[in-house]
Amino acid sequence: MADSQKPLAGRTIAFLATNGVEQIELTSPWEAVEAAGGSPVLVSPQADSITAMNDDWNHGDSFDVDVQLLAAEAKDYHALVLPGGTLNGDALRVDVDAVAFVKSFFEQHKPVAAICHAPWTLINAGVVEGRELTSYKSLEADLKNAGALWQDAEVVVDEGLVTSRNPGDLQAFNAKLIEEFGEGRHEGQTA
C-alpha cells in the first residue's frame, strides 16, 4: 500500500501525446504524478520528440519521447493520462495504434484521465457510451452523439475515468487523477 504522501509510489503512468499537445496539460499532470511518487512515461507515435503548443497557436517546448507507441503495451503501465490540445487530440483519434492502446487500458480496468480535446480519442476507442464525463465545450455534441453523459463541470469521475474541460481545471484534474490512480483498477472501468 502506498503511503499517503506518495500514493503513486511504485506506479508507472503512461502519458500518450503527439505533436500539438497542449503543453500545460502535459507538464502539470506529469509534475503531479512525480510529486505523488509515480513514474511518468511519455508514449508517442513519434520516435524521438514531440513539440507542444501553448493555446493551440504558439509553439511550446519539445519533449523527449520515452517509448514509441508501437512498442508500448497497457500491461506495462498502471494508468494512462491523455493530455489535450486540438492538434494532439485530432491526430491521436485517427491513429489506429493510439486508439487500440487507449482501449486496452479500459479492457484491463485501469484508470484513465483525459482533459480538454483528449476525449475525442475515447470516442474512437468506443469507451464513452453510458459514461459520465466532461471535455472542452466543442466536444460536447460529439460525446453526446457517442452516448456519453456529458457534464459541464471542472472534473468528472466515473469508475476510474477522470475528465476535465481545460487548463483552468488542472488543479482539480490532477487531484482526482492522483486519487483514482492510487486506487488502482476499477471493475466498472470497461471497454
Span 106-120, pLDDT tens digits: 999 999 999 999 999
Number of separate domains in the chain: 1
pLDDT tens, position by position, 55-80: 988 999 999 999 999 999 999 999 99
- The b-or-e profile of 36-46 (16+ CB within 10 A means b, else e) is bbbebbbbbbb
Residue from 78, 109, 116, 186 carrying the catalytic annotation: 116
Q: Which of 18, 21, 19, 1 is nearest to 10 (CA)?
A: 1
**Is 189 a domain residue?**
no
59 classed as catalytic: no
What percentage of the chain has pLDDT greater than the value 70? 98
Mean pLDDT, residues 12-24: 98
The per-residue pLDDT for 3 is 65
Residue from 59, 109, 117, 186 carrying the catalytic annotation: 117
116 classed as catalytic: yes
Check which CATH number belongs to the domain holding 17 and give it.
3.40.50.880
pLDDT tens, position by position, 107-159: 999 999 999 999 999 999 999 999 999 999 999 999 999 999 999 999 999 99
Spatial contact of 82 and 114, defined as CB atoms under 8 Å apart? yes
**Is 6 a domain residue?**
no
The per-residue pLDDT for 187 is 87
Domain hosting residue 90, numbered range:
12-183
The per-residue pLDDT for 189 is 87
Distance, CA of 72 to CA of 44 (rounded, Å):
9
**Is 151 a domain residue?**
yes
**Is 93 a domain residue?**
yes
